[in-house]
Structure 1
Amino acid sequence: MKMLYDCIIVANGSFPSAQLPLDYLHNAPVVIACDGAVQTLHDKGITPSAIIGDMDSIPASLKELYADRIHIVEDQEINDLTKSVYYAHQAGYKRILILGATGLREDHTLGNISLLLEYAPLFEHIEMLSDYGRFIPILRTTTLSSSPKQQVSIFPMYPYGEISTEGLRWPINHRTLTAWWQGTLNEATGDKFTVFLSPETRVIVYMQNQN
């Protein structure tokens, strides 16, 4: 498969089971693991390039095994995913895919998704992929590749600015979306769609994975 990312970060949520995220993971040039994900990666036969966190969730045997790639960050003001993202930025990676950041606890899921807007300015591209779809932070007018009838939702992260769309079944025309549900459950009509944002608007686009 064509590798679109130069670094994959694996968080400690639901480990992927669908073929698409697993293919990316097994072909990744670099895998950065939040410390809580190390055990599962090890059990799956995947060796992380770096392990980031306060190391409170990694067994002693794996601490010893992977001692040469552990980077302890004890800052309690940010979570292990953010620590891993900052490490990737400092290491110079440009195109980031985050796996394992959803599922298990809904509060972790919502928090991790919202953090994408903080991460987006650090990279050329960053997105979060689950077994069901991908979340892409959009900071400016952007055209995204799609498939006809692919399910699309647009989540406004700030209740101001205007959003318009082209290439979706139910167009949005110069609207200010003030609640998450208002931009959900749409559908691509072709092989691309465009989200037009006024300068102050920030959104996260969800695209359902295609079979």
Structure 2
Amino acid sequence: MENSLKQPIIILANGAFPTHHIPLDILKNAGSVICTDGSANALNAYGITPFAVIGDFDSYKETKLPFSGKKILESNQDSTDLEKALNWLLNNGIEKITILGATGLREDMTLANHYILFDYYDQIDLDMVTDHFTITCHKGQKSCNTFPGQIISILPQHFNTKVSTTALRHPLNEMELHPSAKAVSNQALGASFSVDASRPVLIFRGHPEN
């Protein structure tokens, strides 16, 4: 058990490094940053030392500066580096994680990282924060904080997912959703909205423009 982890805990995946102030502020205020392989290079260049680097080290580059963090070799090719980081944190009793850097660069990995939220949502409290959205996964009833005009998109994992919402410009009432663009680009009406889904859905909440 790793006892020196400090909250809040961030996983920095090896996608596009954040540029929006919301994910950057999350990164700057992290208690512990876990890097997936090559993302440690970008974090070091940004001036932050990761608590640990996890992966098969196929994209990590050694720096001239001494590295004081942990290097955790996980060479299993049946899981991605993001999954390896999540599993390591789960095994260390962590209950809440924010994922940054999970989108951009490779479209296949962007889509795969979204699917990872479906795989872990019932095991750990996960937020994926990009330069455009905060993305979470839920099943059943969930209330989310919003602001008027905030972009809200809902994407189901399975066909025939029944979804109802409140406080959205275009309300859903027991609507059967399929994996499609049917429920993207909705808008919040106030300070919160709720969704009730019969099966897991991804909820995208857009960042403020400023």
Report the CA distance between 1:43 and its aligned residue. Answer: 0.7
Quote the Cα distance in structure 1 between the aligned partners of 2:71 and 2:123.
23
Moved over 4 A (4+): none
Quote the Cα distance in structure 2 between the aligned partners of 1:154 and 1:76.
31
Whether the aligned pair in 2 keeps the contact of 1:6 and 1:93 (CA below 8 Å) is no
Whether the aligned pair in 2 keeps the contact of 1:150 and 1:188 (CA below 8 Å) is yes
Q: Aligned to 1:81, what secondary structure does the other structure show?
A: helix
Q: Aligned to 1:162, what secondary structure does the other structure show?
A: strand
Residue matched to 2:206: 208
Q: How does 1:42-53 map to 2 (within 5 A)?
A: 42-53=44-55
Whether the aligned pair in 2 keeps the contact of 1:168 and 1:187 (CA below 8 Å) is yes
Report the CA distance between 1:180 and its aligned residue. Answer: 2.2
Report the CA distance between 1:67 and its aligned residue. Answer: 6.7
- TM-score w.r.t. structure 1 length? 0.92
Quote the Cα distance in structure 2 between the aligned partners of 1:179 and 1:69.
39
Quote the Cα distance in structure 2 between the aligned partners of 1:40 and 1:161.
39
Letter in 1 for 2:106: R
Report the CA distance between 1:161 and its aligned residue. Answer: 3.3
Letter in 1 for 2:128: M
Residue matched to 2:137: 137
- What value does the CA root-mean-square deviation take over the aligned residues? 1.5
Q: Aligned to 1:114, what secondary structure does the other structure show?
A: helix
Residue matched to 1:185: 185
Q: Aligned to 2:127, what secondary structure does the other structure show?
A: strand
Quote the Cα distance in structure 2 between the aligned partners of 1:157 and 1:68.
37
- Is residue 37 of structure 2 the alignment partner of residue 35 of structure 1? yes
Report the CA distance between 1:66 and its aligned residue. Answer: 3.0
Q: Aligned to 1:159, what secondary structure does the other structure show?
A: coil
Q: Aligned to 2:44, what secondary structure does the other structure show?
A: helix
Whether the aligned pair in 1 keeps the contact of 2:134 and 2:204 (CA below 8 Å) is yes
Q: Which runs of 5+ in 1 are unaligned?
A: none
Q: How does 1:71-150 map to 2 (within 5 A)?
A: 71-123=72-124, 125-150=125-150
Quote the Cα distance in structure 2 between the aligned partners of 1:89 and 1:137.
17
Quote the Cα distance in structure 2 between the aligned partners of 1:94 and 1:6.
10
Whether the aligned pair in 1 keeps the contact of 2:53 and 2:69 (CA below 8 Å) is no
Report the CA distance between 1:185 and its aligned residue. Answer: 1.1
Q: Aligned to 1:202, what secondary structure does the other structure show?
A: strand
Quote the Cα distance in structure 1 between the aligned partners of 2:68 and 2:29.
23
Report the CA distance between 1:162 and its aligned residue. Answer: 1.1
How many residues in Structure 1 have an aligned counterpart in Structure 2? 203
Q: Aligned to 1:137, what secondary structure does the other structure show?
A: strand
Report the CA distance between 1:139 and its aligned residue. Answer: 2.1
Whether the aligned pair in 2 keeps the contact of 1:52 and 1:73 (CA below 8 Å) is yes
The structure with more strand, counted as a fraction of residues: 2
Q: Aligned to 2:34, what secondary structure does the other structure show?
A: strand
Report the CA distance between 1:128 and its aligned residue. Answer: 0.7
1:18-58, CA deviations, whole angstroms, 9 ceiling, x for partnerless residues?
Answer: 11111110110111000110111101111111110011111
